A = this chain, B = another copy of it.
Amino acid sequence: MNVIVLLSGGMDSSTALAWSLHEGHTVVGCLSFDYGSKHNDTEYHYATLIAEHFGVPIRRAPLDFIAQTFKSDLLKSGGDIPESTYDTESMKRTVVPFRNGIMLSIAAGYAESVGAQGVVLANHFGDHAIYPDCRVAFIDPMRAAIKAGTDTQIELLSPFASIDKSEIARIGARLGVPFVKTYSCYKGGPKHCGACGTCRERKQAFAVSGISDPTEYTE
């Protein structure tokens, strides 16, 4: 199947790209978004390294309206990134409202425009706690909406919906994802901070999976 892969440059979406190719899909393009987050520019740099590694094209969609009007500490317009694990109330402040819905919708329309039949999203089981737009209760109706709402019945593929990030690390390692070329930190600095929720989750995924962590953390 011809697919569009949502590629942020993190370890999950980079593994989703490797998975797509391994499954025999043709990756027509990867799609990244600039919605004004503190880490969008850094993650896009890494996303281009990953796309280049796997020899697939990548495009970036600007979403200035989100940058200018949405409320979230993940955005440049918001407050500081909390330094805590994902399961705390403070991390809720980093939610960008309906981000996955927005990215999936644009990817679905783009897929239909460029003749792809599927869109690949790397949402995973561990995401669900604070992100409503990662839960199966969102993904399932969104899949139905995309299929019914497109002329060519675009498919939403979410291969990691029932596994967690440590299992993704194992799959990525098996499929040759160069994790050193991936980026997770919400602060967007030159090095991973090691303290924000995504950095903690990244560290833990490597630790639990037993995969060597090539990341250089500030702390």
Most buried by B among A72, A95, A96, A151: A151
Q: Is residue A24 within 8 Å, beta carbon to beta carbon, of the partner chain?
A: no
* Total copies of the chain: 2
B138 lies within 8 A of A112 (CB): no
**Main secondary structure on chain A at its contact with chain B?**
helix
Q: List 16 A-B contacts (CB under 8 A).
A: A62-B64, A66-B106, A69-B114, A71-B114, A72-B113, A92-B151, A95-B151, A98-B154, A101-B105, A104-B105, A105-B106, A132-B150, A132-B151, A138-B149, A141-B145, A145-B145
A150 lies within 8 A of B97 (CB): yes
Q: Is residue A144 within 8 Å, beta carbon to beta carbon, of the partner chain?
A: yes
A154 to chain B: closest residue by CB = B98
Closest 10 CB pairs of A and B: A141-B144, A98-B109, A138-B149, A97-B112, A61-B65, A133-B149, A97-B109, A142-B145, A141-B141, A137-B148
12 more A-B residue pairs beyond the given contacts A98-B112, A141-B144, A142-B145, with a C-beta to C-beta distance below 8 A: A95-B151, A97-B109, A97-B112, A101-B108, A104-B105, A105-B106, A132-B149, A138-B148, A141-B143, A141-B145, A142-B149, A145-B145
Tell me the bound Cα distance from A95 to B71 in angstroms. 32
CB of A184, distance to nearest CB on chain B (Å): 22
Contacts A133-B149, A149-B132, A151-B132: A109 and B138 contacting too (C-beta < 8 A)?
no
B113 lies within 8 A of A151 (CB): no
CB of A70, distance to nearest CB on chain B (Å): 4
CB of A127, distance to nearest CB on chain B (Å): 12
Chain B residues near A65: list those with CB within 8 A: 59, 61-63, 106, 110
Q: Which residue of B114, B132, B154 is within 8 Å of A148 (Cβ)? A: B132
A137 to chain B: closest residue by CB = B148
Chain A 78-96 near chain B by CB (<8 Å), digits 1 or 0: 0000000000000010011
Q: Which residue of B61, B97, B108, B133 is within 8 Å of A97 (Cβ)? A: B108
